[in-house]
Amino acid sequence: MKNITHYINGEHVKGTSGRFSDVFNPATGEVQAQCPLATQAELGRAVEAAEAAQPAWGATNPQRRARVLMKLVDLLNRDMEKLAEALSSEHGKTLPDAKGDIQRGLEVVEYCIGAPQMLKGEYTDGAGPGIDIYSMRQPLGVTAGITPFNFPAMIPMWMFAPAIACGNAFILKPSERAPSVPLMLAELAEEAGLPKGILQVVNGDKEAVDAIIDNPVIQSIGFVGSTPIAEYIYGRGCSNGKRVQCFGGAKNHMIIMPDADMDQAADALVGAGYGAAGERCMAISVAVPVGDETADRLVEKLVPRIEKLKVGPYTAGNDVDYGPVVTAAAKEKILGLVESGVKQGAKLVVDGRNFNLQGYEDGFFIGPHLFDHVTPDMDIYKQEIFGPVLSQVRADSYEDALKLAMDNEYGNGTAIFTRDGDAARDFASRVNVGMVGVNVPIPVPLAYHTFGGWKKSAFGDLNQHGPDAFKFYTRTKTVTSRWPSGLKEGGEFHFKAMD
């Protein structure tokens, strides 16, 4: 049994609370490690170390800070296999998918190497007689992030890379269900030359999170996870005067127009619906074909593809399509929702309820499910299932399909499959969702654009990574200056126009 630690001020530190949470191997159902759950005092020690280390790091020139990130990129590539193995063993996703998780984080580290360019301020020469104005972007100080289980490498990197590139210290509270990779990332950052105390990991649950929200030294919180927790952290964090951005759950719709390439649409749906066992905030969980004829053709294409899916442990090699879900509780919740779908009258076209994997009977595997004739009043439509369950809601027209996506409380991602540029353009322009794919089922923007949903999928005004991250992790200071030769007018008693 492995004992997970915290990582405070450059040291692995044992938990002192006496409270632990089990970390499973989802493929076997065994508990493989104990994750310590920090107290307020343990979080406080990390904050003290961060506060002591941050001023020197903030004063280090941006190019030197960027060099640490350059080195980190090399180390991430060096350790890719090791990181992916650790990630898959706690999360359950396949090894190629775990590498994708690391790679998408690594790309944000690469983007943040551009910090010297991103942090350049603004300057107005001669804003008035002898007057110059300049704005600079300064680090916030001590920042923190709280991350979900489903991307244990990518989402921490999306937060800490821009935070430290901007000169902040960052305290990460990762998911207690997949804590090993975040600790490995903090070690690698120090190997890359990051001073102690600038990137720390405090493991925990609500107690550690509340300690972050209420700590007066912590200036900002980034959160990614489910919507109720996102709303809670956003509300309490903002009322404590912090800068907060919280990204929540999703119910992503894919609209399939009658003119779509149906093979392409079915391939896309299978990958986006069942990849990572559906445990992705950008998974497609609702297929919306327009017209019954389109719906029938789509089901015909989907069923053989779904029946062919290989479900297995990450150790079984590259031809496994998806692995187990993260915990027994997640499995139970997902299968409970499947039962509710059957009871509420949806047609279960592919039934994965009796799925059994020989040799892995105690693992948290779930066979793929496809529901047809789902309606918006059903629980399988209203709730985020976060499992390998795809629901088909039939729409009579394009306008009905668009309305369905727009009326949904979530607005993370969506997609349209069509050959009609006019329909695609109309959809991209009108839909009230943050990330849109046109014949692309999972439109996760690359590092130099920004990632963020709308409606109940995000709280706060700036997105993750891209230029927004440099805004989130800095504050603007604007200096208006005039040197003695310009001081000839005596005192000023009103707001002066710079004429």
Residue numbers at the binding site for ligand NAD (CB under 6 A): 146-151, 173, 175-176, 205-206, 209, 224-226, 229, 247-250, 281, 384, 386, 412, 453, 457
Within 8 A by CB and 6+ apart from 159, the residues are: 145, 147, 170, 172, 222, 464
112 in catalytic set: no
Ramachandran sector of residue 373 (left: φ over 0; alpha: ψ -120 to 50; beta: rest): left
CB of 257 to ligand NAD, least distance (A): 26
| Residue ranges in 355-497 assigned as alpha helix (H) | 379-382, 398-407, 421-430, 467-472
Nearer to ligand NAD, 164 or 224 (CB): 224
Q: What gap in Å lies between CA 419 and CA 438, rounded to an integer?
A: 10
CB of 151 to ligand NAD, least distance (A): 6
CB of 391 to ligand NAD, least distance (A): 16
CB of 395 to ligand NAD, least distance (A): 24
Nearest Cα to Cα of residue 287 among 307, 267, 304: 267
Partners of residue 417 on adjacent β-strands: 256
CB of 179 to ligand NAD, least distance (A): 9
SS3 for 159? Answer: helix
Catalytic residue among 35, 112, 246, 281: 281
Nearer to ligand NAD, 167 or 174 (CB): 174
CB of 152 to ligand NAD, least distance (A): 10
Nearer to ligand NAD, 170 or 247 (CB): 247
Within 8 A by CB and 6+ apart from 89, the residues are: 25, 32, 180, 314
Q: What is the DSSP letter of 497?
A: P
- DSSP H or E stretch at residue 199: strand 199-201
Cα separation values, 199 from 4, 74, 271, 296, 496, Å? 17, 18, 35, 52, 45
SS3 for 366? Answer: coil
Nearer to ligand NAD, 28 or 150 (CB): 150
Within 8 A by CB and 6+ apart from 276, the residues are: 93, 97, 150, 283, 322, 323
Nearer to ligand NAD, 281 or 350 (CB): 281
Q: What gap in Å lies between CA 148 and CA 279, rounded to an integer?
A: 11
Nearer to ligand NAD, 228 or 317 (CB): 228
CB of 282 to ligand NAD, least distance (A): 8
Within 8 A by CB and 6+ apart from 488, the residues are: none
Q: What gap in Å lies between CA 235 and CA 145, rounded to an integer?
A: 16
Nearer to ligand NAD, 101 or 372 (CB): 101
Q: HSE on the CB side for 373, CA within 13 Å? A: 9
DSSP string, 441-474: SS-PPPTTS-B--EETTEESS--BSTHHHHHHTE
When CB distances to ligand NAD are compared, the closest residue is 225
Nearer to ligand NAD, 173 or 297 (CB): 173
Structure tokens at 210: 């509340």
Nearer to ligand NAD, 152 or 167 (CB): 152
CB of 425 to ligand NAD, least distance (A): 26
Q: What gap in Å lies between CA 92 and CA 364, rounded to an integer?
A: 9
CB of 150 to ligand NAD, least distance (A): 5
CB of 246 to ligand NAD, least distance (A): 9
Q: Which stretches of 98-141 are assigned E, i.e. beta strand?
A: 122-128, 131-139
Q: What is the DSSP letter of 485?
A: G
Q: What gap in Å lies between CA 458 and CA 497, rounded to an integer?
A: 39
Q: What gap in Å lies between CA 166 and CA 470, rounded to an integer?
A: 7
Nearer to ligand NAD, 54 or 457 (CB): 457
> Catalytic residue positions?
281
